[in-house]
Amino acid sequence: MKKLNRRAKTLFLCLCLGLLLLLVYVSGILIPESAYAPDFMAARLSPSLRHPFGTDTLGRDLFWRTVKGLSVSLTVGIVASCISAVAALFIGIGAAVGSKRVDSFISWIIDLVMGVPHTVLIILISFVMGRGLKGLLVGIACTHWCSLARLIRSEVMQLRSKDYVAVSRKLGKSGGWILVNHLLPHLLPQFIVGLILMFPHAILHEAAVSFLGFGLPPEQPAIGIILAESMKYLSAGIWWPAVFPGLTLVLIVFLIDKLGDNLRRVLDPYSAQE
């Protein structure tokens, strides 16, 4: 077999990670509710071949609950970080292209959002929207755009001072034409990487807020809820509901993080040819 170079290897790794995530997501959608239905005969079983993660106090299979929960987490992560990233793109470009007043107003807004601890802000928003998936999505989308917006703003600022942009302007091209033809192609890799790196944060926040009891209703399978339930039985020596779902979450988050890092390496023209 021909030895793969680094770029091909990275791409291959990205593909594998993407497929794995897709698998978790799809299987989460496809599994029937009966897979994690309560079965009181099989309550509190420790991990075995039949129940890889064991069962909880109601006899629900924790493995399928975890997979289902992860797929919910991934959905929340995807939707929230897409909204957040698109908002960041517009806000960042707006700050860089707009007048000085617009710029300072946007940076003030960013300071405002960064000024309230994210957990508190998500709790507030989720409280106002009556808890549940919607509040969670809005809360996470509202809090995660700040750093990407800052990044995009500084990037656009740099691009605007480039010669080719100045030449374009002298040639009489409109601001919109320059935006689409000169700025966006440069911003796209940054944007995609920013989006993917936002993803783990969104998922972690989703888990944290459902753990606190906001977000999804308790009968729904979600990692945060499983972990919150497991707390009650911790002192009874039932360790598996706390360990395995959490470990899976860590693994998924870690994989997405890695995916983002690798994609950055491929997309960034400075390191793509290494």
Residues that bind other proteins (CB under 8 A): 108, 111-112, 114-121, 123-130, 200, 204, 207-208, 211-214, 227, 230-231, 234-235, 237, 239, 242-243, 246, 249-250, 253-254, 257
Indicate the residue among 83 and 123 with the shorter CB distance to other proteins.
Answer: 123
Indicate the residue among 94 and 246 with the shorter CB distance to other proteins.
Answer: 246
> Smallest distance from the beta carbon of 77 to other proteins, in angstroms?
13
Indicate the residue among 182 and 230 with the shorter CB distance to other proteins.
Answer: 230
CA–chain centroid gap for 98, Å, is 29
Task: Name, in order, each residue with C-beta under 8 angstroms of 106's C-beta and a sequence gap of 6 or more.
Answer: 91, 94, 95, 98, 149, 153
> Smallest distance from the beta carbon of 121 to other proteins, in angstroms?
8
Q: What is the DSSP string of 182-212?
A: IIHHHHHHHHHHHHHHHHHHHHHHHHHHHHH
> Smallest distance from the beta carbon of 220 to other proteins, in angstroms?
16
> Smallest distance from the beta carbon of 163 to other proteins, in angstroms?
27
> Smallest distance from the beta carbon of 2 to other proteins, in angstroms?
28
Phi, psi torsion values for 130, nearest 5 degrees: 75, 35
DSSP state of 236: G
**Cα gap 188→193, rounded to integer Å:** 9
> Smallest distance from the beta carbon of 155 to other proteins, in angstroms?
20
Indicate the residue among 191 and 214 with the shorter CB distance to other proteins.
Answer: 214
Question: Nearest CA to 221 among 14, 17, 28?
Answer: 28
DSSP state of 61: B
Question: Nearest CA to 145 among 180, 106, 183?
Answer: 106
Indicate the residue among 175 and 217 with the shorter CB distance to other proteins.
Answer: 217
Indicate the residue among 28 and 200 with the shorter CB distance to other proteins.
Answer: 200
Task: Name, in order, each residue with C-beta under 8 angstroms of 122's C-beta and a sequence gap of 6 or more.
Answer: 136, 139, 140, 143, 205, 209, 214
Contact 88, 148 (CB under 8 A): yes
Indicate the residue among 92 and 215 with the shorter CB distance to other proteins.
Answer: 215
Contact 198, 81 (CB under 8 A): yes
> Smallest distance from the beta carbon of 124 to other proteins, in angstroms?
6
